[in-house]
Amino acid sequence: MSEMESEAIPTGRDARHWVPTLSFQKESDAGQVIRLKERSMTMLKQDLILRNPLRLLGHENDDILGPGQFGAVLARAGVGKTALIVQIALNTMLRNKNVLHISLNEPVGKVNLWYQEVLGCLAQQYQVTHLDQLWDTIVPHRFIMTFQVEGFSAPKLEERLTDLTLQKIFSPDVLLIDGQPFDQEQTEVLGNLKALAIRLNLPIWFTITTHRHEAPAQDGLPVQLSPVQDLFDVAIALQPKEDTVHVTALKGCSLSEAQPPLVLDPASMLIRGN
């Protein structure tokens, strides 16, 4: 694999081949039909935004993270970190904001499939029609970039960002970094990424892998997060319980005491109220 791969359009299946039809369409009023379709798609996107259960974490109007802030999704391997971070990305894309998804352990095609699968589950849950058309409208707001873990650093990321923005290829509003190691050797890397986030006014989400056998740190936080907690403004943990995975706020957000717990359904990979 090369040091970096990137893409900004769907791979695997081309959503642009799907052409919606309306039973009342006439050639003489094609312009009106286009406006109706655009209005319908806008309403659909707004409906999905309002249904986003992450709003229940106390952030109803905008992104959970502000400019320059760090957020983390923590869980054991295979529990659903990538599924949750993709839901965060999709909600951002539905609001016409640009997401740069940086994967340090998966190729572009596999990351793209995550987006398609999660969006498909959302469409099924909320009975969304014209899924291909919806995909076609939001995918320009996402760019996937891959690095090898050992070759990833803040200077290299900034170099790639500069390449994208100067050539007007893509200008992100939010960064997601999936697969960044969290150990003592990476403390300097995280500090440099924090400085970059502040300088560029970009919020960054990370996935953090925890392990079943590890006891929490003295402050009660996972041992991966505790040493660098000052860098993070928001932290969310996924904790398996019986047949579901509970979404727990560790830092920077909270649920109302009257609010049922948020859970990640392993079957659909979606966050829902219990």
Dihedral of the CA atoms 191, 196, 198, 203 (nearest 10)? -90
Q: What is the pLDDT of residue 2?
A: 40
Distance CA 99, CA 172 (A): 5
Mean pLDDT of the chain: 80
Q: What is the pLDDT of residue 72?
A: 95
What is the band of 254 on the pLDDT scale with cuts at 50, 70, 90? low
Phi, psi of 234 (to 5 degrees): -135, 140
> Whole-prediction pTM value?
0.81
Burial of 31 by CB count in 10 Å (0-12 exposed, 13-18 middle, 19+ buried)?
exposed
pLDDT average, residue stretch 100-118: 93
Angle at 39 between CA 91 and CA 27, to 5 degrees: 135
**Distant-in-sequence, close-in-space partners of 264: CB < 8 Å, separation ≥ 6:** 79, 80, 83, 84, 238, 244, 245, 246, 247, 270, 271
Which residue ranges form the domains of the chain, and what is each CATH number? 28-273 (3.40.50.300)
Most confident stretch, 53-62, 75-84, 171-180, 258-267: 171-180
The pLDDT tens digits for 117-150 are 988 888 887 787 778 888 999 999 999 999 988 8
Distance CA 197, CA 65 (A): 12
Amino acid 197 reads A
Quick check: 258 pLDDT over 80?
no
Quick check: 100 pLDDT over 50?
yes
Most confident stretch, 7-21, 41-55, 158-172: 158-172
Amino acid 183 reads D
Distance CA 163, CA 196 (A): 15
DSSP-based three-state secondary structure for 256: coil
In residues, how long is the chain? 274
